[in-house]
Structure 1
Amino acid sequence: MIRVVLADDEPMVRAGVVAILSTDPGIAVVGEAGDGREVVELVRRHRPDVAMLDIRMPHSDGLAAAAELAKVAPEVPVLMLTTFDEDTYVAQALAVGARGFLLKAADPRELILGVRSVADGAAYLSPRVAHKVIARLGDGLARADEARRRLTQLTPREQDVLALVGLGRSNQEIAGKLFLAEGTVKGHVSAVLSRLGLTNRVQAAILAHEAGLVADP
């Protein structure tokens, strides 16, 4: 069972997210909070498998909560909820260690996929969120050229693995897709991070989008 703590200052949004996640018998919301301070205490108490945070909340927002959780509960992955006009916040959330980003208006299936992905140790970036973050970070064409140049350091199989990391797939899912042993996939992911000078799967996922390995909608 994947245990989730959810924070959003809008009760109707929380109710909708809980309703969607409850359709998956393998996911349970074990705590709800209306601001960042509350969610930190809930995570301390429940030690969930995923903390899902709205980026903007009163008193203490999702960014502050994510930064605090990185200190007090680093083993709990953070999945951020965002809207289209919050790409600046998304870039900041990357810096404090968030592992995934979901659009509030996304297909409900994305919520379940995102929760499962980060719980399995993968990153999850909604493709449209990734597109906006990349555009915000700088000159898209220059970054794309640089990303493609960096990909020349990878073998074709490592590029296949990176593309699936960019889609938020876990090692188990990548293994099934590419007909590889899960241990082999872990080795490929480690090699990709090392060759490209990256520290985590979120950075790898963004580079996969920049290089065009993942098609943006």
Structure 2
Amino acid sequence: MSTPSPRSQVKVVIIEDHTLFAESLELALNLEGYAVRRIADADTNGSAQAMLTSVVRMRPRIVLLDLDLGRLGDGVRLITPLVKAGVNVVVVTASTERARWGECLVHGARKVLSKTQPLNDILATVRRINQGFPVIDREEREALVGHWHEHREERAALKQRLTQLTPREEAVLGELMLGRTVRDIATASVVSEATVRTQVKSILAKLEVSSQLAAVGLANSAGWRPASR
């Protein structure tokens, strides 16, 4: 166990786009005596890279990171560069997806906490990191990382089904994902509705689903987009 630093010397950066939650967290950490800085959207110029550069220059010991950062995108992609810069990353998120939590740990986050947990849980995690204590046990970590691996395998299987589509079927599925009807697609493509229905039927068979809605849901789950987009 390392000797804990005086709290006034422990820099904690909050990356969070929900102002009320961020301000509450900042206030609580200030009362605990930490040197806290909250990164506001105005500090970033809408650029995740600019924000990352700014945070690294501050040389914080701990970053409390949200995952859903509005126009700055997915916070997961910030974890690895922050960890490589020597930062302890604690994810604080509204997401309940255990696979996503596992992904954060794979990228190097020390722990993932839910925003629904008591504020004292976040403060206790910051204290333990400063004191050099572990903040997640092996069983919890392995379970969350296992969820991530399962999710990756499921997503790969879905993508494999999608590779069976012909270019035309890809285009039709892409239109369905935009909310277009069979009639809309037929009109835009200058073909009969019967032709489009045949193409849709083939898409459903290849994707092993029974409805257009399920096909769209599968494509979204796989993160798929037609080649032309």
The TM-score range, normalised by the shorter chain, is: 0.5 to 0.7
What stretches of structure 1 move > 4 A for 4+ residues in a row?
A: 129-132
- Of 52, 56, 62, which aligns to 1:40? 52
Aligned partner of 1:23 among 31, 34, 41: 31
- The CA deviation at 1:134 is 6.9
Report deviation, 1:136: 3.0
Q: Which residue of 1 aligns with 2:22?
A: 14
Letter of the aligned partner of 1:24 in structure 2?
E
Q: CA separation in 2, counterparts of 1:56 and 1:9?
A: 8
What is the CA deviation profile of residues 14-65 of structure 1, one whole-angstrom value per residue up to 9, with x for unaligned ones? Answer: 112112212212x121242447445412322210110110022232422111
Percent identity, please.
23
Quote the residue 2:119 is aligned against: 108
User: How much has 1:101 moved relative to structure 2?
Assistant: 1.7
Give me the TM-score of the superposition, normalised by structure 2. 0.50
Check conservation: 1:81, 1:103, Cα contact below 8 A.
Answer: yes
Pair 96,37 (structure 1): closer, same or farther in 2 beyond 3 Å: same
What residue in structure 2 maps to residue 121 of structure 1?
132
Closer, same or farther in 2 for the Cα pair 1:86/1:118, shift >3 Å? Answer: farther
Structure 1 counterpart of 2:19, one-letter code: P
Q: Pick closer, same or farther for the CA change 1:54–1:116 going to 2, 3 Å.
A: same
Alignment CA distance shift 1:109-1:120 (3 Å): same
Q: Is the 8 A contact 2:105 2:145 kept in 1?
A: no
Aligned residues of 1:118 and 1:124 also touching (Cα < 8 A):
yes
Work out the CA distance in 2 between the residues paired with 1:15 and 1:130: 29
Amino acid aligned to 2:133:
A
1:66 pairs with 2:79: yes
From the CA coordinates, give the structure whose radius of gyration is larger.
2
State whether residues 7 and 53 of structure 1, in contact with CA within 8 Å, keep that contact through their aligned partners in structure 2: yes
TM-score (ref. length: structure 1): 0.53
Gaps of at least 5 residues in structure 1 are 140-217
> Does structure 2 retain, via aligned residues, the 8 Å contact 1:77–1:119?
no
Asked if 1:50 is matched to 2:42, the reply is no
Q: Map 1:156-175 onto structure 2 (within 5 A).
A: none
Match of 2:89 in 1: 78
Structure 2: unaligned runs, 5 residues or longer = 1-7, 151-229
- What is the DSSP-based 3-state SS (H/G/I as helix, E as strand, rest coil) of the residue aligned with 2:133? coil
Q: Distance in 2 between matches of 1:43 and 1:56?
A: 17
Partner of 1:204: none
Residues 1:109 and 1:92: Cα distance change in structure 2 (over 3 Å): same
CA distance in 1, matches of 2:143, 2:67: 16
The one-letter amino acid paired with 1:20 is: A
Once the 2 structures are TM-superposed, how far is the Cα of residue 77 of structure 1 from its aligned partner? 0.8
Query: Are 1:4 and 2:12 counterparts?
Result: yes
Query: What secondary structure, in the 3-state scheme, does the structure 1 residue paired with 2:17 have?
Result: coil
Residues 78 and 39 (structure 1), Cα distance of their counterparts in 2 relative to 1, 3 Å cut: farther
Q: CA-atom RMSD, angstroms?
A: 3.0
2:26–2:37 CA contact under 8 A, matched in 1: no
- Count of residue pairs brought into register by the alignment: 135
